[in-house]
Amino acid sequence: MKIGSPTPTRRQLISGAASLVAGSVAMPTIICAQSRKSAKLSVGRQPYAAGNSPVTQRMIDNKMLEKAAAELGYDVAIDWRDYPSALPMVEAFISGNLDIGMWGNTPIVRLLAQGQPINVLSVGEGHMRFVLLTRKGLPIRSIADLKGKTVGALVGGDPYNALSQMLLCELGNADPRAFDIRIVNTPTQAQAASVPDGMDAAVAIYPAFLKAQAEIGVVGIMNSFGYSEAGYDGPAGKGEGHLLPGAKKSKFFPDGYYLHRSFWISSDRIVGTDAGLGEAFLVASQRAVAELVKEKPGDIAKSVEKYWGLDPALGARVVDDEVLFQRGWTWPTEGDAAAITQISQFMVEGKLIPKPLEWNKVKSAFAKAGPLLRKAYDATGKVPAESGFTDQKAKDLRGLPAWQADQWKAPA
């Protein structure tokens, strides 16, 4: 202040102070906007499958991943890619052409057995029902009728693995060749569900089966949950809803013959140099699940009707099966990881891999994402409470979350 200048009034002092405060608030916002890191992210999904479809659709429609990334300092351009099955997605990932993808236990076991560097982010979907089906008029009423027949299944994928577990529990051997069963690879679920000429039966995911049942009248025989479908006629009785005699022999009972989980997998960059993108993906997907569980199953199904091809009433059956919506959260657990190890043992019996996975190799696939998972869990409201992970009354296989993987114990 110059000597002799007028003394500032109280109003001028308050006004000046307000300007300083406003400037101090605005400045960090400008700096934050200017310092955001531009990034590109490619994400593969399987919209014709189960729970990942409505979850990713909600993320896409509401730009939830972009918003979560912005909160963590990224301006991200997202390349969402739709895949008909796991195989082409796995190939893109291995070639370095995909940052985040989602596939089931079988490809994960294969990649880990080959020593591929993969990181498990979270559960993409789970508890999917696989159905053994046939065309009308064919003399197949139980799994024993497959002997000497030709069966369509996605080789190297979960449908084939589910079939091998059905064979193991019901007929005593996981290898189709033991029963002179010829397997034909069916790269899409729509193809499998149609049971084309040249096949006597097939294994398809539930959404594809329901669509084919409604449109062309295929007949379900049994499902991976361990129950008969409408076309069954065998030791358990006739028709649908019978618990099949071998189901209780499964290590996954009461989940069924096969404990299906599909996981979101990422490259090292997404849990390393660009870990913020991995955290943003985890936050956005959990927020999407939290929103969807508040809605009616039919409304969730309607949001992906263009992919599933099911009216909301039929689509609601797929939603009701989904472990993400039963749980209300996406975090991978000790039980989910143990399923990978146990399934690798069954894949040895089915002659898909030479030896089962080591438990430490499975744990290491979850390790890098552990800190990101904990941050995302805290940021989205800590759902469930910590006791929810080890709830003995839960209907699905759980355990300690992945950020406590150092406490995980090898499955018996």
**Over the stretch 35-53, which tens digit does the pLDDT of each residue have?**
789 999 999 999 999 999 9
Domains of the chain, with CATH numbers? 36-126+260-407 (3.40.190.10), 130-249 (3.40.190.10)
Q: Check pLDDT > 90 for residue 31.
A: no
pLDDT at 345: 84
For 364, other C-beta atoms within 10 Å of its C-beta total 16
Name the residue among 72, 66, 101 with its Cα closest to residue 85.
101
Quick: pLDDT tens for 286-341: 999 999 999 999 999 999 999 999 999 999 999 999 999 999 999 999 989 988 98
Name the residue among 49, 118, 82, 62 with its Cα closest to residue 319.
49
Share of the chain above pLDDT 90, in %: 77
Average pLDDT of the residues in 219-226: 97
Band (353; pLDDT cuts 50, 70, 90): confident
Q: How many helices (H) and strands (E) does the chain have?
A: 17, 12
Cβ atoms of 217 and 231 closer than 8 Å: no
Query: In terms of residues, how long is the chain?
Result: 412
Residue 322 one-letter amino acid: E
Band (26; pLDDT cuts 50, 70, 90): very low
Cβ atoms of 126 and 327 closer than 8 Å: no
Spatial separation of the C-alpha atoms in residues 254 and 40, rounded to whole Å: 42
User: Tokens 């404990």 sit at which residue?
Assistant: 259
pLDDT at 9: 45
Of residues 301 and 15, the one with the higher pLDDT is 301
